[in-house]
């Protein structure tokens, strides 16, 4: 998977829209399609994002991307750094970094996380 496909974006949309069971189903399909060793890191990154979100880890990088203006301003630079790490011949598990780069590049197209909306209104 060289470019993020529609399934990955749909996973993020479902996750951040609060459709957790739908996101889990998509993640399971992605796990099967990313089963080869070179792509395992991509799944691991997606699972980490999922896990941090559903477990309300407000200190995680995932949440900080929405709540910390400095991170939001640096999003493109961070995405580029992750991409460089993914392309480095010395990086172990490059697909993990590619997944983070893809996520950061998709961020503006993703919905505001429903948990943050709930938190703000309470």
Joined together, the tokens standing for residue 89 give: 């011949």
Q: Looking at per-residue confidence, does 61 or 115 come out higher?
A: 61
Q: Is residue 79 part of a domain?
A: yes
In a domain, 1, yes or no: no
pLDDT at residue 122 in the model: 52
Which whole number is the average pLDDT over 42-65? 95
Residue 101 maps to a domain: yes
Q: Mean pLDDT in the chain?
A: 90
Helices assigned H by DSSP within 34-93: 40-54, 61-67, 69-73, 75-87
Does the residue 18 lie in any domain? yes
| pLDDT tens per residue, range 60-110 | 999 999 889 998 899 999 999 999 999 999 999 999 999 999 999 999 999
Residue 121 falls within a domain, yes or no? no
Residue 122 in any domain: the answer is no
Query: What is the sign, positive or negative, of the torsion defined by CA atoms of 43, 46, 52, 53?
Result: negative
Structure pTM?
A: 0.89
Two tokens at 12?
């993020």
């Amino acid at each position: 998977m060289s470019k993020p496909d529609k399934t990955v974006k749909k996973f993020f949309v479902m996750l951040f829209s609060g459709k957790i069971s739908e996101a889990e189903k998509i993640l399971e399909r992605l796990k099967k399609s990313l089963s080869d060793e070179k792509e395992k890191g991509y799944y691991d990154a997606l699972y980490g994002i999922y896990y941090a979100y559903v477990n309300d880890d407000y200190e995680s990088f995932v949440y900080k991307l929405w709540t910390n203006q400095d991170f939001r301003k640096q999003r493109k630079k961070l995405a580029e750094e992750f991409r460089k790490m993914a392309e480095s011949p010395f990086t172990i598990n490059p697909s993990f970094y590619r997944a983070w780069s893809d996520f950061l590049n998709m961020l503006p197209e993703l919905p505001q996380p429903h948990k943050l909306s709930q938190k703000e209104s309470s």
